[in-house]
Every structure is written in C-alpha cells, then in structure tokens.
Amino acid sequence: MIRQRILGLIVVASLCGGCALDSLPFVYKPDIHQGTIITQEMVDQLRPGMSRRQVQFLLGSPPLVDPFTRDRWDYIEAVKPGGGELNSKRVTVFFENDRLVAVEGDLQPRTWRSLDEK
C-alpha cells in the first residue's frame, strides 16, 4: 500500500514537473497575431485627399478611434512568433474635412507627397 502511494506521488510529481518546462525544443509554439494586419503595400496605396471610406477599404475598419479626436484613426498590429520577441507596428492616419492629410507611424507611404508640396 505504501509502495503504491510513493509510486503514485512520483508519477504525479514527474507529470507536474514536465508541464512546467516550456523551453523544450520539440514543443510547438504558434505565432500570435493581434490587431489589424498592416503591410507596407497597403500603406503605399494611401494618397492625400482620399476619403475615409477609401482608407477604410485599404486598411480595414479602424480598431482604435479616439472619441475626442474623430479625425485620427490608429491601426496597431502585434505579432509574437512562437518563442520569439513581440513585434509591433503602428500606423496613424489623420483626416481634415473627411479627407486624408497625414500618415504617421512605423510604416510610411513610399510615394507619399504631402499636400504642402503641391
């Protein structure tokens, strides 16, 4: 009877200890994506003067809209590759009179020409 209890405790302790190890090389860790997927190609298609609807078609619905500043949309993407570091990107678009006037953040349009240059 005592031998069975000791054997049972050893088995339970081994299972609990094995579950605590997360750095084993053969354990699969999926990539974790959060937020809106933002690519450079999407941002490159933005042009000054685009309507809100056109921007929404390119980038998707804005997940963050500041209730105090309706003319600002924030897009945030966070990706954590399995076992890797968290990578995040942020793109903020600004509107005046419902027309796109500026883009800020980690990704910038390569062909962007601000309204001031015209």
The domains of the chain are located at: 26-110
Using CB atoms within 10 A of its CB, is residue 13 exposed (0-12), middle (13-18) or buried (19+)? exposed
Which CATH code, of 1.25.40, 3.40.1000, 3.30.1450, 3.40.50, is assigned to 26-110?
3.30.1450
In this structure, what is the dihedral angle of CA atoms 43, 47, 48, 51, given to the nearest 10 degrees? -90
For residue 79, what are the β-bridge partners?
33, 87
Each residue of 47-79: pLDDT tens digit? 999 999 999 999 999 887 778 888 999 999 999
pLDDT at position 40, please? 92
pTM (two decimals): 0.69
